[in-house]
Amino acid sequence: MAQIHPFAVVHPEAVVGKDTEVGPFAVIEAGVVIGEGCKIAARASIKRGTILGKNNVLHEGAVLGGRPQHLSAPAEVGRLIVGDNNHFREHVTVHVGLTSKDVTTIGHNCLLMINVHIAHDCHLGDNVIMANNSMLAGHVSVGERAYISGAVGVHQFCRVGAYTMVGGQSHISQDIPPYVTVDGVTSLIVGLNKIGLKRAGFSDADMQQLKDAYRVIYRSGLRWSEVQAALSERFTTGPASAFTQFFAEGKRGFVQERRTPPKATLRLAGVAEESKDDESRKVG
């Protein structure tokens, strides 16, 4: 049986699962479905069109199922569907799909930290982590086990690939391929997410395959069409095979690699003069 605080407001048409706890001043609107074992803290709100799976935790002030922040949002908007075992920390906001046919989805075992915002029609895979104050605009998709650091902003319609690590304060306006790390200062790729991949159980053989594919993509000097052809030919199985499909579905372009500046070809004036003095001393 659900434990509902007497100061909570739960609409009679809402469905609250067994062993779910609802704290004081929480608001659950009509049509909401909440699975078993969830914990809804004080002042959290779950709005119409939201379906929660089992064992989800909402901390104080979290709002799930809000209307899209869109000037053209119709009267009848879409839904929000959430899987199991997710944590929504304080003041997280997640919006439903833009139209009655649209859905925002969150998978299983995700952690959304304080002030995370997920806009309409976004899709999060399983085991995604988003740190404080990170934001997804509309229609963004995030692959499984991606880690989005604090204060990151992702432009609408972008994709964040699986197993990526996005550094803090990055501004993302193109797709991030799977398995890579994005530097927070430049918002560019700086290599594979080696630590994340090891923690996820990727073998040494998997890591070597991903390194080989990374070199094809960013270090081979091939034209983009040649890169795609090489990937599809060389990596038909294994984790690197995911690159082919990811790139084939891209519409916004892809985040590029941060390159080390080339060696200087011109000497600074002071250095040149010092060199001449050294040469003259040697001749003397």
Catalytic site residues?
120-121, 138
CB atoms within 10 A of CB 121: 25
How far from 274 is each of 101, 271, 279, 282, CA to CA, in Å? 72, 5, 9, 12
Question: Which residue type is seen at 82?
Answer: V
Q: State the residue for tokens 């997280």.
A: 92
Query: How much is the CA Rg of the chain, to the nearest whole Å?
Result: 24
CB atoms within 10 A of CB 26: 23
- Copy the structure tokens of residue 247: 């790139």
Cα(114)–Cα(89) distance, integer angstroms: 5
> Strand pairing partners for 141?
123, 159
- SS3 letters for 98-143? CCCCCEEEECCCCEECCCCEECCCCEECCCCEECCCCEECCCCEEC
Q: What's the longest Cα–Cα distance across the chain?
A: 99
Strand order in the sheet with 9-10: 9-10, 27-28, 45-46, 63-66, 93-95, 117-118, 135-136, 153-154, 171-172
Cα(51)–Cα(28) distance, integer angstroms: 11
Coil, helix or strand at residue 147: strand
* Phi, psi of 270, deg, nearest 5: -65, -40
